[in-house]
């Protein structure tokens, strides 16, 4: 006798099994993919640097009164632009960093570095079609950099990305996260982005001792997550001046910025100190287009009277992207090339080297010997300077020999002579090698541009030429 009840039970069971098997199959097809990310060995970076250059001058070009000095702004730029992005927001990666580095942009979606590397991106992207930056005065691209705040004590920074290449049923994986995740921070650092303290996880937000204690907790997390890199900048949160008071007694914090409770507007060409423990003012306006007239009016003044244009951002969108592009087109590599746009960390370190470096010059016949000692402070990661040789034009130089401490180098004329751009990053080659291999593994046009950008930072050598050959330049 046919048992209808058993038949329906069997049919239901088979349907359930089919559905379960389909789910497993989909999971297998779209399982998360691993990706490699380069994390610079910050704990092994050079601290105090001693370097030497030999400049061979052409016949009858030698002078006894050669002056060598580090200019006020790197690359002899005439004004300084700074951007700090508060609240450790996701858009610091998928909008701000992405716009500067020529990556895809979205009005309503957010992505992570894992998505970008895997090619798992939502529809509707738009592109600027270029990177944003200036040059080093000799033709080499230097992309804009900014400062992002971190939230190390908050667990959401440890979240992983869900990567499902080709999965189009929904795009929930591209929803805005609670904030930046560590994977995104790590890749941003390679492109010059700096980091800063902001909120710490204390309920006693006006208790100095508690804030200091949490600075230390946050610092330990940062160094463990970022391969030894520590943090020395504070972006004051919520106008809470007690964070500044705590930073004044927490030694690792060396420079602070706030939009309130400060009278210290930064005038770079008037700076005569190393700025340690200074509180620098920044503008706070939700509409970045308001800054355009401020910049234009500021540049009417002679460079000695120009203030740094330091702006605060929270979440960034197409208006901020447009503002950054405008700076590039007016004052960057696609404009008059007058702006230096570094992170707060890089500016602080450069100014520190300018104040504290010891420079010795000696000339013997047509050989100019230059020795420089660059004493670093705690948590220094930008061992790079411009050195001006006043009175010597680049066309009067036969050749320049650099020692092994110098890993990146270029030179060319500036208004009063020749400038030398000197990088002493210990692992500059290793970083360039990583991005070269990333391009070779996935030879897209975007990866090609990044590989060339990092290789081009190296000084001339057989190793550099070999990397260029491998990527087809």
Q: What is the mean pLDDT of residues 106-129?
A: 96
Helices (H), 87-140: 91, 98-100, 113-118
Is the Cα dihedral 72, 77, 78, 84 positive or negative?
negative
Alpha-carbon separation of residue 65 from 388, 389, 391 (angstroms)? 13, 10, 9
Residue 431: pLDDT over 60: yes
Closest C-alpha to 67, from 401, 423, 405, 363: 363
**Is-contact 232 384, C-beta < 8 A?**
no
Q: What is the CA radius of gyration of the chain?
A: 25
With cut-offs at 50, 70 and 90, classify the pLDDT of residue 2: very low
Alpha-carbon separation of residue 97 from 90, 146, 149, 324 (angstroms)? 10, 8, 13, 11
CB-based contacts of 159, cutoff 8 Å, min separation 6? 177, 178, 181
Residue 75: pLDDT over 60: yes
Global pTM reads 0.92
**Is-contact 115 94, C-beta < 8 A?**
no
**Is-contact 45 425, C-beta < 8 A?**
yes
**Structure-token match 């746009």, residue found:** 341
* pLDDT tens-digit readout, 37-58: 899 999 988 788 999 999 999 9
Name the CATH superfamily for 74-160+171-351. Answer: Glycoside hydrolase/deacetylase (3.20.20.370)
Domain extent listing, the chain:
42-70+357-423, 74-160+171-351, 428-470
Instruction: Specify the DSSP element, H or E, that contains 361.
Output: strand 358-364
Residue 176: pLDDT over 70: yes
- Alpha carbons 407 and 383: distance in angstroms, whole number: 10
pLDDT of residue 62: 67
* pLDDT tens-digit readout, 359-373: 999 999 899 999 999
* pLDDT tens-digit readout, 354-411: 999 999 999 998 999 999 999 999 999 999 999 999 989 999 999 999 999 999 999 9
End-to-end Cα distance, the chain: 80
* Average pLDDT for the chain: 92
Assigned token pair, 444: 């897209």
**Is-contact 397 420, C-beta < 8 A?**
no
For 282-309, the DSSP string reads: -EE-S-TTHHHHHHHHHTTS-GGGPPPE
CB-based contacts of 147, cutoff 8 Å, min separation 6? 82, 83, 84, 85, 193, 194, 195, 196, 233, 235, 343, 344, 345
With cut-offs at 50, 70 and 90, classify the pLDDT of residue 59: confident
With cut-offs at 50, 70 and 90, classify the pLDDT of residue 60: confident
CB atoms under 10 Å from CB of 91, counted, come to: 22
- Alpha carbons 153 and 157: distance in angstroms, whole number: 8
pLDDT of residue 33: 59
Residue 1: pLDDT over 60: no
**Structure-token match 């010891």, residue found:** 358
pLDDT of residue 446: 93
pLDDT of residue 35: 72
Instruction: Specify the DSSP element, H or E, that contains 462.
Output: helix 462-470
With cut-offs at 50, 70 and 90, classify the pLDDT of residue 8: very low
Strands (E), 391-472: 397-402, 408-414, 417-423
pLDDT of residue 213: 98
- Alpha carbons 374 and 376: distance in angstroms, whole number: 6
Give the residues across from 255 on adjacent strands.
233, 278
**Structure-token match 């901020």, residue found:** 320
Rounded to 5 degrees, what are φ and ψ at 262? -145, 140
């Amino acid at each position: 006798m046919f048992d209808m009840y058993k038949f329906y039970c069997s049919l239901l069971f088979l349907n359930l099994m089919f559905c379960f098997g389909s789910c497993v199959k989909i999971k297998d097809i779209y399982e998360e993919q691993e990706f490699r990310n380069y994390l610079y060995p910050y704990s092994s970076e050079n601290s105090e640097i001693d370097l030497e250059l030999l400049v061979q001058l052409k016949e009858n070009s030698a002078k006894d009164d050669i002056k060598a000095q580090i200019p006020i702004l790197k690359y002899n730029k005439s004004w300084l632009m700074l951007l700090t992005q508060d609240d450790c927001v996701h858009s610091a990666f998928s909008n701000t960093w992405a716009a500067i580095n020529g990556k895809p942009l979205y009005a309503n979606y957010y992505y992570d570095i894992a998505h970008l590397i895997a090619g798992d991106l939502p529809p509707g992207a738009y592109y600027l079609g270029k990177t944003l930056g200036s040059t080093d005065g000799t033709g080499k691209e230097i992309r804009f950099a900014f400062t992002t705040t971190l939230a190390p004590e908050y667990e959401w920074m440890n979240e992983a990305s869900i990567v499902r290449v080709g999965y189009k049923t929904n795009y929930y994986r591209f929803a805005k996260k609670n904030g930046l995740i560590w994977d995104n921070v790590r890749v941003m650092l390679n492109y010059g982005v700096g980091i800063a303290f902001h909120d710490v996880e204390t309920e006693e937000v006006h208790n100095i001792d508690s804030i200091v204690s949490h600075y230390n907790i946050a610092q330990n997390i940062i160094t463990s997550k970022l391969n030894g890199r520590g943090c020395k900048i504070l972006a004051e949160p919520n106008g809470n001046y007690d964070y500044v008071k705590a930073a004044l007694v927490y030694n690792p914090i060396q420079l602070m910025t706030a939009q309130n409770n400060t009278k210290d507007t930064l005038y770079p060409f008037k700076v005569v100190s190393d700025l340690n423990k200074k509180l620098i003012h920044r503008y706070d306006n939700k509409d970045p287009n308001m800054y355009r007239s401020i910049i234009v009016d500021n540049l009417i003044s002679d460079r000695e009277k120009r203030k740094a244009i330091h702006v605060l951002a929270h979440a960034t969108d197409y208006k901020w992207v447009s503002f950054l592009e405008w700076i590039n087109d007016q004052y960057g590599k696609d404009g008059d090339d007058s702006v230096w746009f570094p992170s707060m960390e890089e500016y602080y370190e450069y100014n520190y080297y300018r104040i504290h470096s010891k420079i010795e010059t000696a000339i013997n016949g047509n050989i100019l010997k230059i020795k420089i000692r660059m004493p670093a402070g705690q948590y220094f990661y930008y061992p790079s300077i411009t050195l001006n040789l006043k009175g010597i034009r680049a066309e009067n130089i036969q050749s320049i020999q650099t020692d092994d401490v110098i890993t990146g180098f270029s030179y060319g004329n500036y208004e009063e002579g020749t400038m030398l751009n000197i990088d002493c990053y210990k692992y500059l080659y290793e970083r360039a090698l990583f991005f070269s291999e990333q391009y070779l593994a996935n030879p897209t046009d975007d990866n090609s541009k990044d590989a060339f950008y990092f290789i081009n930072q190296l000084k001339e050598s057989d190793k550099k030429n070999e990397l260029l050959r491998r990527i087809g330049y």
